[in-house]
Amino acid sequence: MTNTEQFKPTAQTTKPLAEQTFKKKKLWRSLFILNLCISILLIGLYWVPIKMVQLENFADSPSVNLPKEGVVPISNSGHAQTIKGSKPSNLIETKLTVINASSENDWVYFDFSRGNVVDIHDRTSLEWDLAFRRSKVISNGGATNKFGKAGLINLGKLNFDQVVDVPQDNYTPDIATKTDTENPILLKWYSYNYLTHRLSAKPNTYAVKTADNQYVKVKFLDFYCTNKETGCIKMQYVYQGDGSNQFIKPTSG
């Protein structure tokens, strides 16, 4: 018997070798998948908290591009303008306003009955309905002011112009937190894009009960001023000042 014949592989020796090779490949594949999963998990644990911190810092910190005194591109009076031709003819006019709430320290107070930003030195006053500080919005009721009747309801993604009335009850007032007060309905009135780091208003319509029990429907439109400054709240609204929860013009005669 020659050496070649003596060590020639047989079916019995080839099978175990093939099984060992397959097991090694399977083991390496399993180790690769395990390492990949661990890497993705570690990246997620590191990346998500950073992005959440960036969101909070972006929404609550002052802009890096604050305009100089006297050159703010919009008026901070918050005076509302009527939007014509944007709704059925029998509804009360929709008004549009932009409120410069870019300060990280000072609240800007808005009164729907006057359609203006108002100077408020005492929060217990009933002369305001919503207050803005960058992306934060509070109402004149609940924990913010026990004398105010303001509250909100999220109506969802309803067409703003098709909302002809709002609920009369079950409005959510402000609640107290460890450091401040807030309205749960407006905690996330915006969406955050992690790629562009920009806020955009959600397409939701909100029902508002004012500090003196009147009704408003509101939709937020933007968070940016014309010079890209952050903290300018653009919103459209319809105010009903006769105590009714319907936004239809009174019939004549």
The contacts of residue 225 (CB under 8 Å, 6+ apart) are 67, 72, 73, 74, 98, 100, 102, 231, 232
pTM over 0.85: no
Q: Whose CA is closest to 142, among 188, 211, 241, 206?
A: 211
For the segment 150-209, what is each residue's pLDDT rounded down to a tens digit? 999 999 999 999 999 999 999 999 999 988 899 999 998 988 888 877 888 999 999 999
C-alpha of 79 from chain center: 23
**Secondary structure of residue 169 in the 3-state scheme:** coil
Tokens of 56: 């909070």
Q: What is the length of the chain?
A: 253
The predicted model gives 235-239 an average pLDDT of 95
The predicted model gives 218-227 an average pLDDT of 87
> What are the sequence ranges of the domains in the chain?
1-60, 81-240
Higher pLDDT, 155 or 54: 155
